[in-house]
Structure formats: structure tokens, C-alpha cells
Amino acid sequence: MRVCVIGTGYVGLVTGACLAHIGHDVICVDNNEEKVKLMKSGQSPIFEPGLSEIMQSAIQTEKIHFTSDLAAGVAHGEILFIAVGTPPLPTGESDTRYVEAVARGIGANLNNGYKVIVNKSTVPIGSGDWVRMIVLDGIAERQKSLVAAGGVSEEKLPEFVAEFDVVSNPEFLREGSAVYDTFNPDRIVLGGNSQRAVALMQQLYAPIVERKYAADPSLPPVPILATDLSSAEMIKYAANAFLATKISFINEVANICDRVGADVTQVAKGIGLDSRIGNKFLQAGIGWGGSCFPKDVSALIHTADDYGYEAELLKAAVNVNERQRLIALEKLQQVLKILKGKTVGLLGLTFKPDTDDMRDAPALNLIEQLNRLGAKVKAYDPIVSQTGMRHGLSGVLVETDAERLADGCDALVLVTEWKQFSTLDYLKMAKLMAHPVIIDGRNFLDPEAMVRAGFQYVGVGR
Ligand code: UDX
Ligand code: UDX
């Protein structure tokens, strides 16, 4: 099928590349010319495991093309994905101006046959109908300009009325495993009232539904849930809000464990074995961040508020998380007492491993607060060091390896559980430090091994 994906961020590019990989003809549109140039040359502007490989093979088989020309993308696609960002505004609402610009642009360029417009971006509940309205506005504006330019008479205009439907198809991709998640989804949600559009979407995803690209092809087909537009939009918010709340819950339990002397990792195992609870997303630590949880939970609270409902549980989940993101600071103060003049080394900067994304990363709060208290902050992160990426980073000296990081530090904080952090030479690192203290912000390391290496080990709720 012919597909156009507009917006090649973490979600759009992964979606486009994966759809090309399963045989569709994909055009990815982005208004950032630099990015388009980079992608045309076969390079991914983001780090996502497996993405470069499938992008390059799709470029070779000419299944994927990149352009900044929205008109060309709209003309090509029978299915048009809107995947531009919806960052949070200071009020907590989503900034939907990019979605609006794209919807208007689609409308202005719709002219050849039936199209399905897919909201992949996480948009406030009710946006499906709003996108439809904006597309219609775009169509009307184009008609007006055609008449004004004298190209078409008023009577002929109905010929230009394009046929389209809007579908909400939320993504549930985790950064760091987005390609894997695309080929191995737990479910596919399709919201909309047009059976024609939903049928085309089912056809689009058929190879994935049939597990043709799955890690385990013997699994039963991926469940498809067809809903109305608002329910699909709500599913995305509710899923992220639930997961974020689950993490805040275990973080709260961890804080109680710290006080009573229990070990949250054992507690998580013990409750996770209850199939009603499940063992995933029960990893206590320094809180949730990233481009989705913080913004989606805030947006849901905001939506509830718009309808006069106070989302108390969600607000509590956010409050617990805000406090949790500074738990490492509290622990550093307990051990080092005064932080002024001390040097703290951060192991990891990104909001989770296997991504280069720093959006709303707990490391950023930590750096800011440590600076405020007069500590010197150093950091080592595999991807940040490898790519030379320094975007948005200030008040921190980025080292090129873990041993240089440890050298002279009064304490280390493990912020991101990069796999390679389990095999560092901690014995050597402890010797290089002024005080061999390690705060394990992800309960990732083996406490006994760290003590053997000469560290004073402090976990979260353990
Ligand atoms: C996506 C979104 O779909 C968001 O709603 C969801 O919650 C998380 O995932 P993400 O992929 O992280 O966002 O967005 P981002 O990495 O910011 O990329 C957006 C892309 O769209 C950028 O490449 C940007 O250049 C492009 N863009 C933006 C356009 O092409 N046109 C625009 O008008 C605006
Ligand atoms: C999330 C959702 O999982 C995905 O379905 C959605 O579509 C986009 O948002 P992402 O933000 O990429 O994905 O990563 P995720 O693995 O969910 O982690 C989010 C944050 O929670 C990270 O900061 C992570 O460190 C933290 N986390 C996760 C925990 O603190 N404990 C856990 O047990 C799991």
C-alpha cells in the first residue's frame, strides 16, 4: 500500500521504516530539511536499535523515500500518518499546533482519491474530529485560492471535494525497543467510525497482525481493537497514565521499604508473581521521564480539569514522581552531608537506556539541583559520549569513559541502567574516587559485588 508518514521523529521514522520493511511504499515527510538530507543518505537522525539497518535496506529496495514536500507526500499516500510532536505547554496541555499545521496542509493538498488520515501523534481526546475540521478548512482555503486565481469556476468546485476519513491509531512504542515493539505489539488500536478506513488499516497491518515479522511467529494473531475515535485517544492516555502510576506506586513502596528495612526488589518480585499485578514496570528507582509519560499524564489531568474533574490519583502519581526524581540527592546528602565543593559523577544521562533521548530525563533535574547546592557534576553516558551530543546539557562535564568519570569523585549516581554499566571495572573505579560511594538510582547493580569492589552502596528501597 502507499503510505505517507508526516513527521520523522522517534515515532514517525520508526513507523515509516517498519511499514517499508514489511513491503509498503512509504514516503516520509519532514519540514526539517537537514533531517531529510541525512535520512536520504541512509542515516537515522535518532539512535534507536535496529532502525538504521531497516532504513538502509528499505532505501536500497526503494520502499522508502524522504522529502520535505508535503504535497508530494499527500499525493503519494492512500494512508497518511500524522506523527509530528505534541510537546507539553507550560500549563500541562499538549501543544497541538504542529498537528494543526499538518492537518491544514493535508487539506490543502488533497486531490486524488480516498485517503485515510491517521492520528499517530498523541493528541487530546476529541482531536480526531478536530483534525477532520482542520482538514476541511484546508480544503476550503485551497478552493478559495483556486477560484481567486481564476483556475476553477465556483460551479466546478465540488469536483475538488476530497474524500477522506480520520482514524486514531495510537502508538505504544518504547524508545530503545521501538522497532521490536512495532513488529511485536500487544495490540493494535483503531479508532474511527468509518468501516472503510478501518478495513484499510487492517490491510496495512496484516503482516504484523499475522506475526510475519514477530520474534515468535507461532504466537496467535495480534488482537485488533476497533473503537470510536475518543476511546482510542483515551486508551493511549490511560495506558501511559496507568504505567506511570504503577511506577510511582512501586517507588512509594520503595521509600517505605527504605524506612522499615525491606528490599523493594524482593517485594516487586513477590507482588509481580500475582498475575493480577504482573511483574512489568515495577522497577523502583529515580522516577519516570521521557517524552511521553510526563506529558501524557499532565495532559490527562488537564483534560479532566477542563471537565471540572480533579484527577487526584494521577496528580499523586506526578507528585510522587517529582519527589522521586530527587531521591538520589537526598541519599547523597545523607552520605556526604555537605554537597558544596563535592564532585558527583553521573553514570548515564538519557531518560532510559538504548536511546539518545534526553527529554524530561531525571538526570537533568539532578544536574540542576546539584549545581544549585554547589556540587561539581560530571557524567558519562555511552550514547552521549559516542555521538558528541550535548543538546540541552549545561552545568555538567561530560567524560568519555567511566574511569575518567570516577577519577576524583566523592560519589557516583547510576542514573540510567545502560547494560554496559553492569561490567565496568568498579574495583579500579573505587580506587580512583575520593570517596567510593555509589547511589544506584535504578537498583541495577549487585550490592554485594559493589561492596567487594570497595564501594559504599546505596540503592533505592533496598
Ligand atoms: C511523537 C508524537 O507523535 C507524540 O505525540 C507522541 O506522544 C510521542 O511521539 P516524537 O516522535 O517524539 O513524537 O516527535 P519528535 O521526535 O519531536 O518529532 C517530530 C518530527 O516532526 C520532527 O522531525 C519535526 O521536524 C517534524 N515536524 C514537526 C514536521 O515535519 N512538521 C511540522 O509541522 C512539525
Ligand atoms: C512509554 C510507553 O511505555 C510506551 O508504550 C508509550 O507509547 C511511550 O511512552 P518510553 O517513554 O519510551 O515509552 O519508555 P518506558 O520504557 O515506558 O519508560 C518510561 C520511563 O519510566 C523511563 O524513565 C523509565 O526509566 C521509567 N521506568 C520504567 C521506571 O522507572 N520503572 C519501570 O519499571 C519502568
> Domain containing 427 — which CATH number?
3.40.50.720
- Residue whose Cα lies nearest atom 1 of ligand 1: it is 85
In sequence order, the 6+-apart residues with CB closer than 8 A to the CB of 426 are 438, 449, 450, 453, 454, 455
Last residue of a domain, one of 308, 323, 338: 323
Task: Check whether residue 403 and residue 365 sit in a common domain.
Answer: yes
Look at residue 33 in the predicted model and tell me its pLDDT: 97
Last residue of a domain, one of 227, 250, 267: 227
Last residue of a domain, one of 323, 346, 379: 323
The Cα–Cα gap between 248 and 254 comes to 10
- Which H or E run contains 189? strand 188-191
Task: Check whether residue 81 and residue 203 sit in a common domain.
Answer: yes
Which residues have C-beta atoms less than 6 Å from ligand 2?
171-175, 240, 243, 247, 281-283, 285, 288-290, 292-293, 351-352
Q: Which residue range(s) make up the domain with 176?
A: 2-227
CB-based contact 26:55 (threshold 8 Å): no
| Structure confidence by residue, pLDDT tens digits, 362-376 | 999 999 999 999 999
Task: Check whether residue 66 and residue 147 sit in a common domain.
Answer: yes
Active-site residues, by number, are: 292
Task: Say which amino acid occupies 45.
Answer: P
| Structure confidence by residue, pLDDT tens digits, 263-310 | 999 999 999 999 999 999 999 999 999 999 999 999 999 999 999 999
Look at residue 126 in the predicted model and tell me its pLDDT: 87
Q: What atom of ligand 2 comes closest to residue 290's alpha carbon?
A: 11
User: pTM, whole model, 2 decimals?
Assistant: 0.94
CATH of the domain at 306: 1.10.1040.10
Query: In terms of DSSP bridges, do strands 115-119 and 25-29 run parallel, antiparallel, or are they unpaired?
Result: unpaired
Task: Check whether residue 135 and residue 213 sit in a common domain.
Answer: yes
Task: Check whether residue 334 and residue 271 sit in a common domain.
Answer: no
Cell of 185: 505489539
| Structure confidence by residue, pLDDT tens digits, 70-101 | 999 999 999 999 999 999 999 988 999 999 99
Residue 423, Ramachandran bin (φ over 0: left; ψ between -120 and 50: alpha; else beta): alpha
Q: What atom of ligand 2 comes closest to residue 280's alpha carbon?
A: 33
Task: Check whether residue 217 and residue 191 sit in a common domain.
Answer: yes
User: Helix H segments across 337-401?
Assistant: 362-372, 382-387
Assign 391 a pLDDT band (cuts: 50, 70, 90): low
Task: Check whether residue 150 and residue 271 sit in a common domain.
Answer: no
Number of domains within the chain? 3
Q: Give me ligand 2 centre to Cα 327, in Å.
A: 18
Task: Check whether residue 27 and residue 161 sit in a common domain.
Answer: yes
Q: Give me ligand 1 centre to Cα 318, in Å.
A: 24
| Structure confidence by residue, pLDDT tens digits, 417-443 | 999 999 999 999 999 999 999 999 999
Task: Check whether residue 162 and residue 252 sit in a common domain.
Answer: no
Question: What ligand is nearest to the CA atom of residue 294?
Answer: 2
Residue with cell 511485536: 184
